[in-house]
Amino acid sequence: MSEFILNVIHRPEMVPEYSATVTGHGKEEDIGDKKLLTESLDIFRTQQRLAHENGLKVTIHMTYAALFNKEAVEIAKHDHETYGDEIALSLLGLPCEEFREKYKTKDFCIWMFSIEDKKRIVDDVFGKFHDIFGFYPESTGSYYMDADLTNYIKEAYPSVKCAIATCWEEGPKAYHTCNNSWYTLFDGGPWAPWIPSKQNTHAPAADESEDSGIVAIPHLSRDLLACYDGNGSNFGTHPQNVLRGMIYDTKTWEFPYLYNLIDQYRAQEKYNNGYAYNMMFVGPGWMNKMGRWEAPYELLLKSYSDGCKYYGDLKKAGRLTDMTMSEFADYYRKKKTYTEPECALWRDILYGSDKQVFWYTDPYMRAGVSMDQGGAVFDLRPYAAKLKWEVGIGTKHVQDASYPFLIQEKYRAGYFTHYAGEGTIRSAKLSYRGEEVDLCLCRTKAHFSQEGSTRILTLDPVTIEFSDLKVTLQTKEYFEEGRGSIRIERTILNMSRPDASVELNEYMTACYGTTEYPEDMSGILLRCEGAEEKAISYEYRCREESLTGASAVSAVIPAIETKVSMTASDTALGYIKEGYAFSPMFTLGYKKNITDKEVFSTWLRLEKAD
């Protein structure tokens, strides 16, 4: 039976994040402005009403400021008793007079505080919550929850079992979109609920020993194609996102994109053992009476009203189950195993391109595959390393909470580069009599299937045309649960000249980083493993080595404690390539001459480096 689960979350922020630059423009800052507080509460009430009118349960994320507001507390208690809403505690919405006075800072993102302050603030807000409600919350959250923060909360307040813990691909792209003024840098996480590891929030736990003790949910459910290339805040299951992206008809105020987005998430149950998930999380800031961006208040109200109605109608039709966050955590624990991956086969629903991508996440990796580039892996995060990556003041990463990539085609190019050098991608090239074709130029579509615990992508065959030879090739990609590997199988279905032989070059060009800018590659160790081992310690000297029959070709990247390797199904020439300053990459690969009907597989493996 398929299930589509929805979490609706409202956050009674007393001083909305945008108020200083929008409603407060031209005035001296007044964090205790009574008019602002009254309007914020009115908006919260409206949001609650719209959800309840449509039969939807809400998780109310009380902010620190809301805990000082009797009216907000009364609304929460009333709606808990009347509608079954969960009263939870947000670590967003810290700013208020009481917080400023106590902590003497304007910082408001919990993951950016020092670990000492994180603990102080958590104790403060959890204690205040307990004073008011008489119990500790079961759910909490922020835009991002770093592992140290989560571990502390779980240790001190074991009742917590669910948390909003990241926002999918909210990183440098969001930063740039906000004119480099919005410091939410946490690319590289899951897009759907997961159990975070104790070591790193983004990387799911592989077993009980790694289990942080919470079920994490993403902040909104975001478009898995549009968000990778653009501003995440334009393409999510928050009506404001859709308005912010100007994705509505200005004459009719209709926005079918939001419903396409919700429906595409519903369709993901096909790839996840009958389960799909959505999350809608709103604060009051976007719905203020002055309008937001180009949208007047009436359109803001309509968008949330219509959004709630769409979910409500799905519920009435028996196609949606609404849950509170803590109910969802219980459901998820029963439904999922640690190693079960989250899969998404996703198409473009906005630009009209028919592009299709596949996303895969498990405790060992997150990978993105582009069918528009012949099944190339265009994003790869080595979760197998379970990288300890402390964030906040006093650490090496005050703001940057992203999980590092090995491949990221937008930040480090992909197939296409300007004039020189290479970009990160895992693809293959076919060569024949001096001509070379990369499968990145072969547009195709994929079909999903599952055999046992292996998820399989079967791509429609593509034809490579050389001047006097046509080769029809099919790619299948196998994601083996619990193995930290991707097997890519190429089958030559047909050659126009059956006696011809072409060279297949399976390759991965990679580096590491979290932003667009290059990192120091010195000391990365490249190896052709086998009887006669060959190695290159990275010095930007453009060197290459190869070994016939290599048992593996590998790279150890000490900075991210990761080993990545490739192995082959048959004897082939393994090779390693060092980059140079203008192309700070490395390449691992295998070359093999193949003929008609031949099948050749390679495995990409990720491990934690010793």
Binding site for another protein (CB under 8 A): 21-22, 25-26, 173, 176-179, 230-231, 233, 244, 246-250, 254, 256-257, 259-260, 263-264, 267, 270, 290-296, 345-353, 356, 445-448
Least distance in Å: CB of 339 to another protein? 25
Residue 588 in 3-state DSSP? strand
Comparison of 33 and 263: residue with beta carbon closer to another protein: 263
Residue 49 Ramachandran class (φ > 0 left, ψ -120 to 50 alpha, else beta)? alpha
Minimum gap (Å) between residue 513 Cβ and another protein: 20
Q: List the one residue out of 546, 588, 538, 587 whose CA is nearest residue 567.
A: 588
DSSP 8-state class, residue 383: G
Residue 413 CB, nearest approach to another protein (Å): 18
Identity of the residue, 97 or 269, whose beta carbon is nearer to another protein in the bound complex: 269
The number of residues making up the chain comes to 610
Closer of 349 and 606 to another protein (Cβ)? 349
d(CA 471, CA 491): 10
Cβ proximity to another protein, 444 vs 505, nearer residue: 444
As measured in angstroms, the least distance from the Cβ of 343 to another protein is 12
In DSSP terms, 425 is beta-bridged to 509
Residue 82 CB, shortest distance to another protein, in Å, is: 35
Give the nearest distance from C-beta 291 to another protein in angstroms: 5
CB neighbour list of residue 393: distance below 8 Å, 6 or more residues apart:
112, 113, 114, 117
Residues 529, 249: Cα–Cα separation, whole Å: 58
Which is closer to another protein, CB of 156 or CB of 246?
246
Positive or negative torsion for Cα 282, 284, 288, 293 = negative
The DSSP-derived string for 122-146 is HHHHHHHHHHHHSS--SEEE-S---
Cα–Cα distance for residue pair 95/107, rounded to 1 Å? 8
Q: Which is nearer to another protein, 83 or 253 (CB)?
A: 253
Which is closer to another protein, CB of 257 or CB of 403?
A: 257
What is the identity of the amino acid at 575? Answer: Y
Tell me if 142 sits within 8 A of 150, measured CB to CB: no
Least distance between another protein and beta carbon 347 (Å):
6
- Angle at which helices 115-133 and 70-83 cross, to 10°: 70
- Residue 152 vs 182, nearer CB to another protein: 182
Q: Classify strands 3-10 and 321-323 as parallel, antiparallel or unpaired.
A: parallel
The answer to whether the beta carbons of residues 382 and 361 sit under 8 Å apart is no
The span from the CA of 197 to the CA of 299, in Å, is: 41
Residue 205, CB-side half-sphere exposure with 13 Å CA sphere: 21
Least distance (Å) between residue 424 CB and another protein: 21
What region does 66 belong to: left with phi over 0, alpha with psi -120 to 50, or beta? alpha
Name beta bridge partners: 469.
466
Q: Structure tokens of 559?
A: 């900075």
Nearer to another protein, 446 or 552 (CB): 446
Query: Do residues 408 and 426 touch, judged by C-beta distance below 8 A?
Result: no
Element containing residue 567 per DSSP (H, E): strand 562-568
DSSP conformational letter for 400: B
- Write the secondary structure of 419-483 as one string of H (helix), E (strand) and C (coil): CCCCCCEEEEEEEECCEEEEHHHCCCCEEEEEECCEEEEEECCEEEEECCEEEEEEEEEEEECCC
Q: How far is the CB of 381 from another protein (least distance, A)?
A: 23
Residue 182 vs 540, nearer CB to another protein: 182
Nearer to another protein, 351 or 416 (CB): 351
Minimal distance in Å, beta carbon 254 to another protein? 8
Nearest approach, Cβ of 48 to another protein (angstroms)?
26
Rg of the chain, C-alpha, whole Å: 25
Least CB distance to another protein at residue 372 (A): 12
Nearer to another protein, 47 or 264 (CB): 264
For another protein, which is the closer residue by CB, 103 or 310? 310
Shortest separation between residue 79's beta carbon and another protein, angstroms? 31
